[in-house]
């Protein structure tokens, strides 16, 4: 599997898919015009990765804003991560949220209830403070 690194833009998050270090990372804003075109290659990569046996994979989401269409894709991503765990890998999802953003925090709790994967919610001081 290949390393995938997507630089963030004003409308798309930065993405790191690192099969050697077992890291999956999303950060920034997610408002792609065509959410399927942006996320489908990531979902395909995760599907292939979930069939591999990784010792431990850490998945980090540090999104300061995302669209409702992205929300559906995040659920699809977490389902792939859940499959990875079902295949015998240790998995941890880290959901970062600005300490003053209850919506992103609440979303983290919602996702943590929807997937059967260890889930850590971590607040951080936003740049706007």
Residue 60 domain flag: yes
Q: Residue 112 half-sphere exposure, CB side, CA atoms within 13 Å?
A: 18
Q: Which domain holds residue 27?
A: 4-124
Domain count, the chain: 1
Residue 80 domain flag: yes
pLDDT digits (tens, 9 = 90+) for 12-27: 999 999 999 999 999 9
Residue 111 domain flag: yes
- Residue 52 has what pLDDT? 79
- Residue 129 has what pLDDT? 46
Task: Judge whether residue 103 has pLDDT over 50.
Answer: yes
Residue 96 domain flag: yes
What are the backbone angles phi and psi of residue 92, rounded to the nearest 5°? -140, 130
Residue 129 domain flag: no
Rounded to a whole number of angstroms, the CA Rg of the chain reads 14
Residue 13 sits in a domain of what CATH number? 3.30.750.24
Lowest mean pLDDT among 59-68, 87-96, 120-129: 120-129
Spatial distance between the Cα atoms of 86 and 27, rounded to a whole number of angstroms = 26
- pTM of model > 0.95: no
């Amino acid at each position: 599997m290949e390393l995938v690194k997507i630089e963030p833009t004003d409308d798309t998050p930065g993405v790191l898919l690192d099969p050697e270090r077992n890291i999956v990372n999303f950060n920034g804003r997610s408002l792609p015009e065509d959410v399927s075109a942006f996320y489908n290659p990531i979902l395909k990569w995760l599907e292939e990765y979930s069939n591999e046996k990784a010792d431990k994979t850490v998945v980090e989401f540090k999104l300061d804003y995302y669209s409702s269409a992205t929300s559906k894709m995040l659920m699809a991503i977490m389902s792939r991560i859940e499959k990875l765990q079902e295949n015998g890998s240790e998995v941890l999802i880290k959901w970062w949220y600005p300490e003053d953003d209850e919506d992103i925090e609440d979303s983290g709790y919602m996702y943590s209830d929807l997937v059967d994967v260890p889930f850590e919610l971590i607040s951080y001081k936003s740049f706007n403070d």
